[in-house]
Amino acid sequence: MSVAILPMSDQFSWDDSVKGSVSSAFFAGYMVTNLCGGFLATRYSAKGVLAIGVVLWSLFTIATPSAAAGNLGELMLARAVMGVGEGVTYPSIQNLARKWVPEQKRSRALAFIYSGHQLGTIGSYMLCPLLIAHYGWESVFWIFGSLGFVWLLGWLPLVSDGAPPSLEAGAAGRGTAAAAPAPPAAPAVPAKELQLQDVPWAAFAANPAFWAIVAAQCTVSVGNVLAFSWLPTFYNQVYGVDVAASAAYSVLPFVVTVVATNAGGWIADGLVNNGVLDKTTTRKLMQGIASLGPAVCLVKLAADQGAGEGASSVTNAVALVTAWCSLCGFSAAGYGSNHQDISREYSGILYGLSNGLASVAASVSIYATGQVLHYTHDWSLVFEVAAGLYAVGAAAYLKWASCEEQFAHADGGAARQLAKAKVQ
């Protein structure tokens, strides 16, 4: 949408305010199923919930051109329903990963999974201009929506809700559980019988380690959607480049981010597995890089825009944006791996809650960015606010984050907090 919205805006005469509303509609639906997706994936089937989500978002991606041809309300509804489908993705992945990924490889595995988002962004930035030039902007939605069904057909036979037999056999053959995922705290209520009242919602709400994750995730998400949703518009408005050039400038940051994300995962696992740093310190180090590094880049980017350097600074802008996005990739080994540290049993639910709150922040920020640009045309202000939010998220995470187990079932399915006030 971030590339296609440029020709769509020309065709439908949308200003930045409308573009922000269209982009934020997705997150309205995304928020809803993030909040409940973790519970659904835990209670029923993570594989099944994710498959339904893929079908839903693929269908409504294909339907987007028809909705846009109707009216703005229909388009925003289609985008919201698409968000409903995508909202179950990460909570479902967390549920699958806790069974499929050994603890010693958690950071690198989750980093690899999360980097799929950047790879998809790279593919869209490379293909969308070609599709738009030859077949019109509508083809972008038809083709990418259809690819969702193709992917699903290949994925379904490969995945199960339980741990893979090879992982279980490997652990048994070595006579140790070290190579297999550490079992979660024994639940008083089996997952298939889990009810809403069995989940320790109050303990979640009172836990500082969880809120440290939320703070980091919300502020990083604001930066991520700024990059994903507004970069082509930024290059187009500030430097006067066309659709193809703006997409090309937008690709490089995500290419480097794939490398940085996976490097961060391997570095984090190496630090912990070799006893260089404890897990909590490692998470804080990774997240500090992922939050404070982008903040510095955005402050410099804002200063450059305020100086009015014009088109001659496009190379500097691309370099700063690339550094900003790539450093942010280290968050996969920071807050992105922290949910399973504080509770393997509830990691999917916790991720759904934190990602749902982050999607609220993202939706508000996309809309607010559109309003700011519509009324002030001030990109410096946009970048300065994002930098400040990164700094706030970093401060909260560095103070309260922990990798200690935080939650477990007590007798009768009630919850107890294992580390109520213990933070590192």
DSSP state letters, 357-377: HHHHHHHHHHHHHHHHHHHH-
Distance CA 315, CA 326 (A): 16
**pLDDT surpasses 60 at 188:** no
Q: Number of C-alpha atoms within 13 angstroms, CB side, residue 142?
A: 9
- Model confidence at 424, pLDDT cuts 50, 70, 90, reads very low
Q: Among all chains, which residue has been given the structure tokens 């440290």?
A: 212
pLDDT at 125: 81
Mean pLDDT over residues 225-249, rounded?
Answer: 82
3-state secondary structure of 415: strand
Average pLDDT in the chain: 85
pLDDT at 101: 85
Q: How many residues does the chain have?
A: 424
pLDDT at 243: 72
pLDDT at 165: 64
Mean pLDDT over residues 114-136, rounded?
Answer: 88
**pLDDT surpasses 80 at 47:** yes
pLDDT at 203: 93
- The domain defined by 5-163+190-417 folds into Growth Hormone; Chain: A; (1.20.1250)
pLDDT at 296: 97
pLDDT in tens, 209-221: 999 999 999 999 9
**pLDDT surpasses 70 at 201:** yes
Q: 416 forms bridges with which residues in the sheet?
A: 408
pLDDT in tens, 309-325: 544 478 889 999 999 99
Start-to-end C-alpha separation, the chain: 41
pLDDT at 230: 84
pLDDT in tens, 365-392: 988 998 899 899 899 999 999 999 999 9
pLDDT at 112: 92
- Closest listed residue to residue 102, CA positions, set 46, 163, 155, 41: 163
pLDDT at 250: 79
pLDDT at 122: 87
**Domains of the chain by residue range:** 5-163+190-417
Distance CA 58, CA 144 (A): 8
| Segment among 7-16, 67-76, 355-364 with least mean pLDDT | 7-16
pLDDT at 166: 61
Distance CA 297, CA 320 (A): 6
pLDDT at 229: 80
